[in-house]
């Protein structure tokens, strides 16, 4: 009962799929969507245009997409959830309920992907308002998806700078290779299941703290720093205690995370930067200098979580909404991978090495 085939815990280093969607180059700090640099996509596009690029392969920078309506049955489901439910649980439940109302067919299509990606921001916004004792806000078809999401959260149309900053976050969060949640989505659709089931499973994978990250910890860290004047002292004291600086270092990237670079550029270009973003930009410069002095042998550069936290806090989202908002952004990538998997499908079914007892008889 020996098995000499190689085993890679966590499938690390195993090529489990081929994709034309996203390319992550950790050594050089590059992220490409269908060959296009992430910085260029943030600068010249919007989330709906980037989502359409991932779904179809066509770059149409004028492509628009508003948030969608919530079916009555889904709204009833959201209203039945306890106000203490986590936003990620509410979003996962809403996607599952939405799928039950749609009679989705296989294989999944870009039209299905658009419908789900438009629906989910409305659902998350509705839950956020319901738990606060407020009525949901209907979708405004005149607004693009990201400003529409903010409008449905707050009841007020956002200013252009705020919408632009969050849209940039959605763009950089849209796709990132065969990560755990994307792999989950591909496994589910490989059984010829439907798009909503795949995305609901992906949300469940993203909910885990080892995958979704912890930008809320960056928020707490910046609260502790408090001001630019305290930054250097706080950074050095934190490192002296052997504690990590949240938002720096990455499992894949050995260079500056290109997603963080794109978000910082957008933040710096805002006419009226929220105080939170301004503090984050200045504290980052101090942290990078001190880290380089302390650890010249290690590539501890800014990762996307640092600016994700700064942008999400800066546009007024509460920290418990951060993971679910990340999930909204990742809808484009998840659904594009689901479409790609189904186009040339083979059931994903790896083997496991048996390590239990040898064959034996039941005791007398």
Pairwise CA distance, residues 101 & 139, whole Å: 19
Pairwise CA distance, residues 284 & 245, whole Å: 10
Token pair listed for 201: 């499973």
Question: Could you give the angle at which helices 215-225 and 275-294 cross, rounded to 10 degrees?
Answer: 90
Pairwise CA distance, residues 95 & 116, whole Å: 8
Of 215, 232, 235, the residue nearest 307 (C-alpha): 215
Pairwise CA distance, residues 32 & 21, whole Å: 8
Select which of 250, 284, 337, 340 is catalytic.
Answer: 250
- In the three-class reduction of DSSP (H, G, I as helix; E, B as strand; rest coil), residue 303 is classed as coil
Question: Which residues make Cβ contacts (< 8 Å) with residue 57, sequence separation at least 6?
Answer: 20, 34
Pairwise CA distance, residues 304 & 264, whole Å: 10
- Tokens 């050594």 -> residue: 27
Determine whether 275 is an active site residue. no
- In the three-class reduction of DSSP (H, G, I as helix; E, B as strand; rest coil), residue 25 is classed as strand
Determine whether 305 is an active site residue. yes
Token pair listed for 227: 């001001």
Pairwise CA distance, residues 333 & 8, whole Å: 26
Contact in structure between 169 and 48 (CB atoms under 8 Å): no
Of 328, 102, 274, the residue nearest 194 (C-alpha): 102
Pairwise CA distance, residues 210 & 10, whole Å: 12
Select which of 175, 305, 337, 340 is catalytic.
Answer: 305
- Residues annotated as catalytic (active site), given as ranges: 250, 305
């Amino acid at each position: 009962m020996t098995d000499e085939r190689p085993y890679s815990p966590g499938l690390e280093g195993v090529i489990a799929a081929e994709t034309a969607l996203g390319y992550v180059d950790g050594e050089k700090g590059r992220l490409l969507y269908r060959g296009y640099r992430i910085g260029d996509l943030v600068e010249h596009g919007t989330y709906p245009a980037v989502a359409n690029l991932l779904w179809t392969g066509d770059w149409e920078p004028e492509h628009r997409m508003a948030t969608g309506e919530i079916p009555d049955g889904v709204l009833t489901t959201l209203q039945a959830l306890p106000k203490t439910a986590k936003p990620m649980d509410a979003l996962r439940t809403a996607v599952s309920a939405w799928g039950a109302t749609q009679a989705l067919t296989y294989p999944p299509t870009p039209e299905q992907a658009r419908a789900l990606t438009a629906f989910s921001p409305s659902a998350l916004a509705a839950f956020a308002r319901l738990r606060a004792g407020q009525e949901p806000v209907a979708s405004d078809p005149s607004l693009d998806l990201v400003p529409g999401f903010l409008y449905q959260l707050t009841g007020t149309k956002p200013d252009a700078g705020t919408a632009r900053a969050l849209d940039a976050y959605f763009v950089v969060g849209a796709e990132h290779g065969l990560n755990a949640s994307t792999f989950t989505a591909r496994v589910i659709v490989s059984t010829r299941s439907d798009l909503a089931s795949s995305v609901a499973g992906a949300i469940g994978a993203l909910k885990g703290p080892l995958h979704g990250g912890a930008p809320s910890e960056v928020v707490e860290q910046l609260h502790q720093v408090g001001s630019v004047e305290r930054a250097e002292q706080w950074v050095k004291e934190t490192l002296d205690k052997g504690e990590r600086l949240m938002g720096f270092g990455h499992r894949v990237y050995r260079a500056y995370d290109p997603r963080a670079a794109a978000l910082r550029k957008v933040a710096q270009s805002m006419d009226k930067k929220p105080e939170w973003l301004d503090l984050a930009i200045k504290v980052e410069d101090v942290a990078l200098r001190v880290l380089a002095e302390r650890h010249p042998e290690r590539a501890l550069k800014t990762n996307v979580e640092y600016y994700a936290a700064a942008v999400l806090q800066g546009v007024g989202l509460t920290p418990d909404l951060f993971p679910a908002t990340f999930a909204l952004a990742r809808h484009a990538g998840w659904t594009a991978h689901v479409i790609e998997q189904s186009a040339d499908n083979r059931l994903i079914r790896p083997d496991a090495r048996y390590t239990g007892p040898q064959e034996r008889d039941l005791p007398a």
